[in-house]
Amino acid sequence: MLYREAGQYKTGYTADMAVFPIAQDRAGIAIILAAVVLLPIVANDFMLQAVMIPFLVFALAAIGLNLLTGYTGLLSLGTGGFMGVGAYACYKLTTFFPEVNIVIWILVSGLFAAGVGVIFGLPSLRIKGFYLMVATLASQFFLQWCFNRVQWLYNYNASGAIEVPERYLFGWALTGARATPTVRYYVVLTIVVALTWIASNLVHGRIGRSWMAVRDMDIAAELMGIRLLPTKLLAFAVSSFYCGVAGALMVFLWYATGAEYNVFDINQSFYILSMIIIGGLGSVLGAFFGAALIYILPIALGFAVPALLAPFGLHIGADTLEHVRLIIIGALIIFFLIVEPHGLARLWQIGKHKLRMWPFPY
Amino acid sequence: MKRHLIMAGAALLVAASFAPAPAAAQDSIYVPLMTYRTGPYAGSGIPIADGMRDYLTMLNERDGGIGGVKLTVEECETGYDTKKGVECYEQIKGKNPVMNNPYSTGVTLQLIPRAAVDKIPILSMAYGLSAAAVGDTFPWVFNPPVTYWDGASVFVEHVAQKEGGLDKLKGKKIGLVYLDVPYGKEPIPLLEALSKRYGFELKLYPVAAQEMQNQGSQWLNIRRDRPDWIYLQGWGAMNPTAVKEATKIGFKMDHMVGVWWAGSDDDARGGGMEAKGYKSLNFHGYGPNFPVLQDIKKYVVDTGKSQFPKEKFGENLYNRGVYNAMLIAEAIRAAQKVTGKKVVNGEDTRKGLEALNITEARLKEMGMEGFAAPLNLACSDHSGHNKVYILEWNGTKWQKSTDWTSPMKDVVRPLLEAAAKDYVEKNAGWPKRSEACAKAS
Amino acid sequence: MDVLYKVLVDPFLQMGGAPDLFVQTLWEGFVVGTLYALIALGFVLIFKASGVFNFAQGIMVVFAALTLVGLYEKGVPAYAALLLAIGAMFLIALGTERLVLRPLVNQPDIILFMATFGLTYVLIGLGELIFGGSPKVMIADQLLLPKGDITFQAFGGIVQLQKIDIAAAVIASLMIAALAVFFQKTRIGRALRAVADSHKAALSVGISLNQIWVIVWFTAGVVALVTGIMWGARSEVSFALQIIALKALPVLILGGFTSIPGAIVGGLIIGLGEKLGEFYWGGLVGGGIESWLAYMIALIFLLFRPQGLFGERIIERI
């Protein structure tokens, strides 16, 4: 009833090409933005620190991977490694130049990840599909080995891990143990929203279209004058930039105190990949859906399953809960793929479309 | 329409599940245990988790808790994954926990700076950051009864004893086979320092975490280098694989010593009779023949409150869990004594941990005579640098093979203090100790 | 200069200086290579017949071995447990075909890949739920697998061959031979190859795709069981074992996703390459390079021969 576009007239091409052509969509986005901005008023530390911050960080990494895999059609399993490059670059930068604000270094560290991404993206010129995926595994394992072995990267710390120093933003502690989740949440939110906006513009513009052309048929794209080499490498660079920033955010604003190299292991890569496939390949929105399903749902299940069993007098051990959680998540992944192979983003579109037609679907 | 209903239902469920969990009742003490019964390291995680849980349950059943206050024991599953560890910590934090047992070096490192801010002490029993033993720098972190560096020094002492004196170490080759993660690399600085001091050669054999069960090349290297002794700092599936590989290349098993985390029954069992002679450091009793374990059997196992397989009762890692839980309980007891309160919180337990003094008499009272060495912590010494002894595998079981040995505190302590200083320098703004030093009254 | 000497000359001097160790390294590489080849074989079978990149192959190895040992621990005789484990693999194949493959037929490869991801989670959860997370000792003796080693003086030193490794190599070879015969000579084998060539054409001559998929997943399950037994006997049966399966991926790149001989030769190259690399060159950078060396070998190889050793040129590449 409310979701109608009747009466909204477009008077120019720009309006017609807008990302959100319908007024209700714009209102919806505004409401969501307002809600996430106001969230810290009602949410407790757990909600911010264990749910929202990681959700945003993972969503950002998923957007990064989606630019590469979803839009350009290049499968990659190097996400964890690229995130790690961002985190370690940020650590080195902020310990070399402590006077520069950490937020700047978090963004700059993405550039280092982009550089590394371009180098490991070179094989994509000769191979694609699963072959490329396995080739990117080389970068994953090699980078992981470097994080562990090159002591210079973690400043020769006896712990062998990144020890996040305390840094401030406008007088508030932003990293370290004293930083409150609220402050960190706002900074993460700002960065993620800004980068999401950029990504959305990127994929709707010339660059995004050339990526999609390469994805859909590279030979045709080449004939149309899109040069494959720079296009693919650009995709690797931008994607790795996003992943790098996400990695830096993860260590500095989510974990906030320190992290071992193995948070960037191969499982992280699989984790992000599963987010974009479930969320929807080639959809910025899908990255958020995927991150929600893969990251938040298990946490929710951790509360919901015991709560559902409690009325029957059943108590469930922490380990059994974990097993049940795994089975449910696995089954849900398969279920969602069967229901809609193009991901939750597609499901969302269908839902919106149905709503527009309601109550007279054709 | 049906699908929409399902969706709406799912959304409701998700929303409902975030409703705050009921806070722990005021008249009990909340003891969270971060454990891992799943994932690649579950084999080591399960016995420890059960040991801790069963001892605390036994206290509830037998004594009605500690000082008349019941304990609320809650496990949070980490799967040895830092990500889940962080999530667990957030769940635990709001429930007024007396302390935190992260049971993973990665999670411990992550939580060390938080401990002081959130006022929740960390008890990382013989794991985590070695430098945390320096209480002046890390007032909120405790790693009794020994650090990895103490352990490695006992290993060197043992080698010296078998070789006939510390001066005989000169020219010997000692190999360190370790899991290539920060945990595994812990003993390297100490062994390097000792190798300079005593003139033995240190050879390093890293095993990557994803190659835990594929150690062929490391052991080929060992065959080539022919080290006289091997120190094994492994975890999970890496240990049994290492023991098996050692038997395969015909390494003298009594010249191979594992750190205490390489001393699970399962670690040696895979090697069977050929692994006879394999040694492991240990700091608590082995087997079910201690009064305290008999009490656990009586009150917990026989009443069906334990999840642990009966035939494995009293195995090494299970007993380690019991020892860990004993430290928790004694810290709470000490906190009650120091503060005079019945229901203690994190701040009180921190004081209790610093005032922890487990004497021979107290051990006897707890039915732990011979199970553990007396332990005395102090404000500056959060580890105790306690005595350890060495177990030897006889083909089917562990046997005590040496007497309790003291670590080389004179070597370890200065190194620890240097490491703590280094930590403070690198973490600019690390707070100076402001917590007063409470003495046991 | 010194660096160059250490990289280019010294390792070869070492090889010549201690030929016994060189032979031992080759042997170790050969054994590990056959085991890699076995895991890769599981991948290839499924990829060939159904175009699915089966991420769950690793957990299938664990699940199969765990079922075997778990049942034995519950009092089932060893050989009955073996049969039951094979039965369990059949059930998994059947379940996968019914619940995962059939509803997802004709979907893009990546979607099917993702579905096997879900399958992995389910199998991990199920395995831990039924058999617990504790590692288990492989019942090698009960299955009459040989123990001990053969040691002989040769090449100026001692060369040691583990009987279990010899058995692994022999069983792997037999398995591969049996599969080859199965593919070449039997009716089902020919149907399998037809399906691999073209789903539609196979359907039109009356081959049941669903049946073929069950058979192929079941075969891969049996291969997984053999791998699990062998690898479990080398170390232990635990959930950490599934990580080993990732080692099959560089093998696949080398050998091609669809070639059985490729999987074998690729496995041997990766096995030998990484053992030699780690043993003679690993020390230069502190060791532990095995974890990525195999991928690097595969990557360099890819630049020169993108279709793999025996891969079909049909596979779409630039």
CATH of domain B28-146+287-384+417-426: 3.40.50.2300
At residue B69, the 3 state secondary structure works out as strand
User: Is the bond into A359 cis (omega within 30 degrees of 0)?
Assistant: yes
Chain segment C8-59, per-residue pLDDT in tens: 777 788 777 778 888 888 888 898 898 888 888 888 888 888 778 888 888 9
Element (H, E) at B258: strand B256-258
Query: What is the identity of the amino acid at A200?
Result: S
Phi, psi of C199, deg, nearest 5: -60, -45
The pLDDT of residue B397 is above 70: yes
User: In this complex, do B210 and C238 lie within 8 Å of one another by their Cβ atoms?
Assistant: no
User: In this complex, do C111 and A341 lie within 8 Å of one another by their Cβ atoms?
Assistant: yes
Query: How confident is the model over B262-290, as a mean pLDDT?
Result: 88
The pLDDT of residue B283 is above 50: yes
* Model confidence band, residue A244 (pLDDT cutoffs 50, 70, 90): very high
With beta carbons less than 8 A apart as the criterion, state whether B258 and C63 touch. no
CATH of domain B148-282: 3.40.50.2300
User: In this complex, do C299 and A338 lie within 8 Å of one another by their Cβ atoms?
Assistant: no
Quick one: what percent of chain B has pLDDT higher than 70? 93
The answer as to whether A298 is a domain residue is no
User: In this complex, do C238 and B39 lie within 8 Å of one another by their Cβ atoms?
Assistant: no
With beta carbons less than 8 A apart as the criterion, state whether B263 and B235 touch. no
User: In this complex, do B109 and A303 lie within 8 Å of one another by their Cβ atoms?
Assistant: no
- Residues of chain C with C-beta less than 8 angstroms from the C-beta of A330: 117-125
Query: How confident is the model over A44-52, as a mean pLDDT?
Result: 88
User: In this complex, do A158 and B423 lie within 8 Å of one another by their Cβ atoms?
Assistant: yes
Chain segment A315-325, per-residue pLDDT in tens: 777 778 888 88
**What residues contact A86, with CB distance under 8 A and at least 6 apart?**
A106, A109, A110, A112, A113, A243, A244, A245, A246, A247, A248
Burial of B435 (0-12, 13-18, 19+ CB in 10 A): middle
Query: How confident is the model over B273-280, as a mean pLDDT?
Result: 89
User: In this complex, do C117 and A274 lie within 8 Å of one another by their Cβ atoms?
Assistant: yes
> How many angstroms away from the CA of C152 is the closest CA of chain B?
13
User: In the prediction, which pLDDT does B16 show?
Assistant: 45
Residue found by looking up tokens 């039997």 in the block? C186
User: In the prediction, which pLDDT does B23 show?
Assistant: 44
**CA end-to-end span of chain C:** 40
Residue found by looking up tokens 């990580």 in the block? C243
The pLDDT of residue A359 is above 80: no
Chain segment C194-205, per-residue pLDDT in tens: 887 788 888 888
> How many angstroms away from the CA of A218 is the closest CA of chain B?
36
β B173-179/B201-207 pair status: parallel
Chain segment A269-327, per-residue pLDDT in tens: 988 998 998 898 888 999 999 999 889 988 888 888 888 888 877 777 777 888 888 89
Instruction: Select from B214, B222, B255, B254 the least CA-distant residue to B238.
Output: B214
- Residues of chain B with C-beta less than 8 angstroms from the C-beta of A143: none
The answer as to whether A239 is a domain residue is yes
State how far Cα A19 lies from the chain centre.
Answer: 20
Please enumerate, as own/partner, the contacts of C190-196 that have beta carbons within 8 Å and a separation of 24 or more. C192/C48, C192/C49, C192/C216, C195/C49, C195/C50, C196/C48, C196/C49, C196/C258
Name which of C290, C292, C296, C316 to mutate to probe chain A: the one with the most chain A Cβ atoms within 10 A of its Cβ: C292
**Chain A, window 114-143: residues with a beta carbon less than 8 angstroms from a chain B beta carbon:** 141
CA distance B200 to B416: 22
Fold of C20-304: ABC transporter involved in vitamin B12 uptake, BtuC (1.10.3470)
Query: How confident is the model over C256-284, as a mean pLDDT?
Result: 85
With beta carbons less than 8 A apart as the criterion, state whether B353 and B121 touch. yes
CATH topology agreement for domains B28-146+287-384+417-426 and B148-282: yes
Residue found by looking up tokens 């397989």 in the block? B309
CA distance C60 to C43: 11
β A168-169/A162-163 pair status: unpaired
Q: Does A332 touch chain B (CB under 8 A)?
A: no
Phi, psi of B40, deg, nearest 5: -65, -20
Instruction: Select from B346, B425, B385 the least CA-distant residue to B114.
Output: B346
Q: Does A54 touch chain B (CB under 8 A)?
A: yes
Residue boundaries of the structural domains of chain B: 28-146+287-384+417-426, 148-282
> How many angstroms away from the CA of B177 is the closest CA of chain C?
11
- Which chains form contacts with chain A, at 3 or more CB pairs under 8 Å? B, C
> How many angstroms away from the CA of B251 is the closest CA of chain C?
13
> How many angstroms away from the CA of A134 is the closest CA of chain B?
16
CA distance B28 to B64: 11
> How many angstroms away from the CA of C96 is the closest CA of chain B?
23
Residue of B46, B217, B240 lying closest to C235 (CB–CB): B240
Low-confidence winner among B232-241, B425-434, C55-64, C199-208 (lowest mean pLDDT) = B425-434
User: In the prediction, which pLDDT does B22 show?
Assistant: 43
CA distance C261 to C272: 17
User: In this complex, do B220 and C18 lie within 8 Å of one another by their Cβ atoms?
Assistant: no
How many CB contacts within 8 angstroms connect chain A with chain B? 140
CA distance B297 to B295: 5
Can you read off the two tokens belonging to residue A13?
A: 């091409």
Query: How confident is the model over B284-302, as a mean pLDDT?
Result: 90
CA distance C154 to C139: 32
Higher pLDDT, C20 or A70: A70
Residue found by looking up tokens 């949440």 in the block? A185
CA distance C301 to C262: 14
The answer as to whether A246 is a domain residue is yes
The pLDDT of residue B131 is above 90: no
> How many angstroms away from the CA of C20 is the closest CA of chain B?
10
User: In the prediction, which pLDDT does B439 show?
Assistant: 58
User: In this complex, do A260 and B87 lie within 8 Å of one another by their Cβ atoms?
Assistant: no
The pLDDT of residue A198 is above 90: yes
Query: What is the identity of the amino acid at B38?
Result: T
> How many angstroms away from the CA of A290 is the closest CA of chain B?
15
Residue range(s) defining the domain that contains residue A27: 21-264
For helices C78-96 and C209-234, give the axis angle rounded to 10 degrees.
140
The pLDDT of residue A90 is above 90: yes
CA distance C231 to C227: 6
Least CA distance to B181: which residue of chain C? C288
- Residues of chain C with C-beta less than 8 angstroms from the C-beta of B249: 160
Least CA distance to B129: which residue of chain A? A159
Query: How confident is the model over C107-131, as a mean pLDDT?
Result: 88
Sequential DSSP letters for C74-138: TT--HHHHHHHHHHHHHHHHHHHIIIIITTTTT--HHHHHHHHHHHHHHHHHHHHHHH-SS-B--
Whole-model pTM: value is: 0.90
Q: Does C123 touch chain A (CB under 8 A)?
A: yes
Query: How high does pLDDT run on average in chain A?
Result: 87
Least CA distance to B209: which residue of chain A? A262
Chain segment B44-55, per-residue pLDDT in tens: 888 999 999 999
User: In the prediction, which pLDDT does A60 show?
Assistant: 95
Query: How high does pLDDT run on average in chain B?
Result: 85
Query: How confident is the model over A225-248, as a mean pLDDT?
Result: 93
Element (H, E) at C152: strand C149-154
Can you read off the two tokens belonging to residue C178?
A: 């049996």
CA distance C40 to C45: 9
The pLDDT of residue A2 is above 90: no
Please enumerate, as own/partner, the contacts of C230-233 that have beta carbons within 8 Å and a separation of 24 or more. C230/C35, C230/C38, C230/C164, C230/C167, C230/C168, C230/C171, C230/C172, C231/B213, C231/C35, C231/C61, C231/C65, C232/C65, C232/C69, C232/C136, C232/C138, C232/C140, C233/C138, C233/C140, C233/C145, C233/C164, C233/C168
User: In the prediction, which pLDDT does A19 show?
Assistant: 74
Name which of C129, C243, C293 to mutate to probe chain B: the one with the most chain B Cβ atoms within 10 A of its Cβ: C243
Name which of B46, B81, B217 to mutate to probe chain C: the one with the most chain C Cβ atoms within 10 A of its Cβ: B217
The pLDDT of residue B361 is above 60: yes
The pLDDT of residue C254 is above 80: yes
**CA end-to-end span of chain A:** 16
* Model confidence band, residue B153 (pLDDT cutoffs 50, 70, 90): very high
User: In this complex, do B17 and A307 lie within 8 Å of one another by their Cβ atoms?
Assistant: yes
The pLDDT of residue A110 is above 70: yes
User: In this complex, do C288 and B206 lie within 8 Å of one another by their Cβ atoms?
Assistant: yes
Largest CA distance in chain B: 83
User: In the prediction, which pLDDT does C318 show?
Assistant: 37
Query: How high does pLDDT run on average in chain C?
Result: 84
Count H helices, E strands: chain C?
13, 2
User: In the prediction, which pLDDT does B14 show?
Assistant: 47
Can you read off the two tokens belonging to residue B59?
A: 């206290």
User: In this complex, do C129 and A327 lie within 8 Å of one another by their Cβ atoms?
Assistant: yes
Can you read off the two tokens belonging to residue A253?
A: 């604003």
Burial of A179 (0-12, 13-18, 19+ CB in 10 A): buried
CA distance B416 to B116: 20
User: In this complex, do B35 and A318 lie within 8 Å of one another by their Cβ atoms?
Assistant: yes
The tally of domains found in chain A comes to 1
> How many angstroms away from the CA of B440 is the closest CA of chain C?
41
* Model confidence band, residue B278 (pLDDT cutoffs 50, 70, 90): very high
Query: How confident is the model over B216-232, as a mean pLDDT?
Result: 89
* Model confidence band, residue B18 (pLDDT cutoffs 50, 70, 90): very low
Element (H, E) at B358: strand B357-358
> How many angstroms away from the CA of A250 is the closest CA of chain B?
10
The answer as to whether A288 is a domain residue is no
User: In the prediction, which pLDDT does B20 show?
Assistant: 42
CA distance B109 to C190: 58
**Chain A, window 168-197: residues with a beta carbon less than 8 angstroms from a chain B beta carbon:** 176-178
Phi, psi of B257, deg, nearest 5: -125, 130
User: In this complex, do B116 and A177 lie within 8 Å of one another by their Cβ atoms?
Assistant: yes
Q: Does C266 touch chain A (CB under 8 A)?
A: no
- Which chains form contacts with chain C, at 3 or more CB pairs under 8 Å? A, B
User: In the prediction, which pLDDT does C312 show?
Assistant: 57
Query: What is the identity of the amino acid at A8?
Result: Q
With beta carbons less than 8 A apart as the criterion, state whether B151 and B259 touch. yes
Name which of A65, A275, A294, A338 to mutate to probe chain C: the one with the most chain C Cβ atoms within 10 A of its Cβ: A338
* Model confidence band, residue B438 (pLDDT cutoffs 50, 70, 90): low
The pLDDT of residue A241 is above 90: yes
Higher pLDDT, B279 or C305: B279
CA distance C180 to C65: 24
User: In the prediction, which pLDDT does C132 show?
Assistant: 81
User: In the prediction, which pLDDT does C250 show?
Assistant: 86
User: In the prediction, which pLDDT does A63 show?
Assistant: 95
The pLDDT of residue C285 is above 90: no
CA distance A273 to C14: 44
Residue boundaries of the structural domains of chain C: 20-304
User: Is the bond into B145 cis (omega within 30 degrees of 0)?
Assistant: yes
For A4, A6, A204, B263, C233, the CA distances from A357, given in Å and listed in that order, are 8, 11, 26, 67, 62
